[in-house]
């Protein structure tokens, strides 16, 4: 059985969606760790309720990013982590960290990459006036919101949408798509050739 670490800095709704899929045995894996850099993150309470080990690693307690990431890697190795799931982790991982876990880090982004990269993707798509936005799950590489795309789902922006109603529908898709991609990974159904991901 594969071991998963979820990295999150916020409310943890995608974390919760994955936990539910594991409990239902839709995903046959173990969530070994929640790694967070925010002591007040809502995801901590969710992990506590689920009985999942919480690792709080605050940047302020380390001299530099290398020491910060070295501590995280130490914990990941202790738990024999096979997959890192970024679920609203608001810190860019270094190129060295990504190379250490190449092909084993996935991220979710609330837009159809390569459009609307960055931390305000839903708001940016709404403000820009595009007719469609969506959700992307991708492997992580050394650049922000850039690695090989695993799956995308488009979401129409309706004439009567508010930013809040659009955010709600984007999150609904995230909570369905992300557990499905985690399931594909743990079942060894994903392979990467260059920037193309094949699903078996």
Structure tokens of 40? 């007040």
Whose tokens are 């084993």? That residue is: 104
Which pLDDT score is estimated for 194?
85
Strand partners, 36: 56
Give percent of the chain with pLDDT exceeding 70: 100
Q: Find the helix or strand (DSSP H, E) in which 188 lies.
A: none
Please tell me which residue in 109, 138, 146, 171 is annotated as part of the active site.
109
Per the annotation, the verdict on 109 as an active-site residue is yes
Identify the segments of the chain with pLDDT beneath 50.
Answer: none
**Residue 33: DSSP 8-state:** E
What residues does 137 pair with on adjacent strands?
108, 151
pLDDT at 65: 94
What's the full length of the chain, in residues?
A: 200
Give whole-number Cα distances, 151 to 23, 96, 137, 188, in Å.
23, 25, 5, 15
Q: How far apart are CA 22 and CA 161, in angstroms?
A: 33
Neighbour tally for 91: CB within 10 Å: 15
- pLDDT tens figures, 5-55: 999 999 999 999 999 999 999 999 999 999 999 999 999 999 999 999 999
Residues 6+ apart with CB under 8 A from 50: 19, 23, 31
pTM across the whole model? 0.96
**How many CB atoms lie under 10 A from the CB of residue 64?**
9
Average predicted confidence (pLDDT) for the chain: 96
Quote the distance between the C-alpha of residue 5 and its chain's center: 10
Distance, CA of 13 to CA of 179 (rounded, Å): 12
pLDDT recorded at residue 145: 85
């Amino acid at each position: 059985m594969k071991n998963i670490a979820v990295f999150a800095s916020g409310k943890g709704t995608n974390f919760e969606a994955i936990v539910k899929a594991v409990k239902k045995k839709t995903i046959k894996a173990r969530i070994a760790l929640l790694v967070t850099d925010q002591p007040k993150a809502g995801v901590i309470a969710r992990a506590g309720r689920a009985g999942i080990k919480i690792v709080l690693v605050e940047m302020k307690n380390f001299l530099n990013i290398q020491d910060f990431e070295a501590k995280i890697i130490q914990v990941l190795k202790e738990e024999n982590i096979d997959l890192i799931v970024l679920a609203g982790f608001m810190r860019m991982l270094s190129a060295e960290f990504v190379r250490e876990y190449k092909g084993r880090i996935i991220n979710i982004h609330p837009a159809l990459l390569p459009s609307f990269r960055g931390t305000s993707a839903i708001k940016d798509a709404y403000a820009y006036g595009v007719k469609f936005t969506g959700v992307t799950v991708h492997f992580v590489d050394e650049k922000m919101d850039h690695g090989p795309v695993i799956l995308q789902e488009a979401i129409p922006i309706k004439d009567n949408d508010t930013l809040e109603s659009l955010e709600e529908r984007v999150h609904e898709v995230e909570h369905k798509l992300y557990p499905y991609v985690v399931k594909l990974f743990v079942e060894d159904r994903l392979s990467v050739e260059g920037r193309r991901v094949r699903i078996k």
